[in-house]
């Protein structure tokens, strides 16, 4: 088990995902300063009014985009390995905890299951008139790549983060993507119907 500094936030960071952060609180400026000096990651954990979740992601600082004169920082972090909180520790201005690695234990998705997820991703991109991102489907982790590019909300992302097999993540992701596509289509149909005052023009 390792001890790591924690940064509880109202967001979820997935492995491989990059996000910008604005660091302004003195305790987190201290945390990030140590991470930069020592070249080590910190732990980003989703937290809300219910408290911190038990699974988080190691976050490595890959870019310091701006240093303010008052000590604030704009940084970019990248998600690395997942971890499970074992025990909170004390003695620092920021939260620390002993953590344990959280490797996958389950199966890989079958080719048809992975293709269903990829097809659902492409279908949603078409509905939103977006260009799908290029995905690396050869080395696993496809579910995290897709989930990092679609805003499913923090609860869904946390659920994906906590699953212990790529197959489970791919199956859940397919459902989320298909549900999102159906919602977009339904919203478009309602808008089109509203524009005609609910009347249908016969062909």
- CATH number, domain with residue 16: 2.30.130.40
**pLDDT tens digits, one per residue of 152-191:** 899 999 999 999 999 999 999 999 999 999 988 888 878 7
CB atoms near residue 154 (< 10 Å):
16
The answer to whether residue 106 sits within a structural domain is: no
Last residue of a domain, one of 101, 135, 150: 101
Question: What is the Cα–Cα distance from 65 to 50, expressed in whole angstroms?
Answer: 32
136: in domain: yes
The secondary structure element, H or E, covering residue 98 is strand 96-101
Domain holding 54, by residue range, is 2-101
Same domain, 8 and 88: yes
Question: Residue 201 above 50 pLDDT?
Answer: no
Local structure of 191: helix, strand or coil: helix
Is residue 82, in this structure, part of any structural domain at all? Answer: yes
Across-strand partners of 74?
22, 66
Assess whether 152 and 189 both reside in one domain.
yes
Instruction: Report yes or no on 162 lying in a domain.
Output: yes
| 96 and 173 inside one domain | no
Same domain for 85 and 125, yes or no, is no
Q: Looking at the structure, tell me whether residues 140 and 170 fall in a common domain.
A: yes
- pLDDT tens column, 16-39: 999 999 999 999 999 999 999 999
Q: Are residues 126 and 189 in the same domain?
A: yes
The residue out of 52, 67, 101 marking a domain boundary is 101
Cα pseudo-dihedral 41, 46, 48, 50, rounded to 10: -110
CB-CB contact of 94 with 27 (8 Å): yes
Same domain membership, residue 119 and residue 88: no
Question: Is there a single domain that holds both residue 11 and residue 96?
Answer: yes
Residues with Cβ < 8 Å from 15, sequence gap 6 or more?
57, 79, 80, 81, 82, 141, 144
The DSSP symbol for 150 reads S
Residue 95 sits in the same domain as residue 120: no
The domain boundary, picked from 53, 71, 101, lies at 101
Out of 4-13, 29-38, 100-109, least confident range:
100-109
pTM of the model: 0.88
The total domain count for the chain is 2
- Nearest alpha-carbon partner for 169 in 131, 140, 136: 140
Band (pLDDT 50/70/90 cuts) for residue 197 is low
57/128 same-domain check? no
Q: How far apart are CA 25 and CA 157, in angstroms?
A: 26
Pure H helices in the chain: 26-38, 111-127, 142-149, 154-162, 166-195
């Amino acid at each position: 088990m390792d001890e790591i500094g924690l940064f509880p936030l109202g967001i979820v960071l997935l492995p491989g995902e990059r996000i910008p952060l604005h660091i302004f609180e003195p305790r987190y400026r201290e945390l990030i300063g140590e991470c930069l000096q020592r070249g080590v990651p910190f732990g980003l954990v989703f937290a809300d009014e219910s408290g911190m979740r038990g699974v988080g992601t190691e976050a490595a600082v890959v870019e310091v985009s701006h240093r303010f004169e008052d000590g604030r920082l704009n940084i970019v972090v990248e998600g690395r390995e997942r971890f499970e909180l074992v025990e909170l520790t004390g003695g620092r201005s920021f939260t620390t905890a002993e953590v344990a690695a959280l490797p996958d234990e389950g199966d890989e998705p079958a080719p048809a299951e992975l293709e269903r997820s990829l097809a659902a991703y492409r279908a949603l991109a078409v509905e939103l008139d977006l260009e799908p991102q290029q995905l690396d489907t050869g080395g696993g982790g496809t579910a995290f790549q897709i989930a990092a590019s679609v805003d499913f909300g923090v609860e869904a992302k946390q659920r994906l983060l906590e699953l212990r097999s790529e197959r489970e993540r791919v199956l859940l992701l397919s459902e989320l993507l298909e549900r999102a596509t159906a919602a977009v289509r339904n919203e478009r149909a309602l808008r089109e119907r509203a524009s005609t005052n609910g009347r249908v023009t016969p062909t």
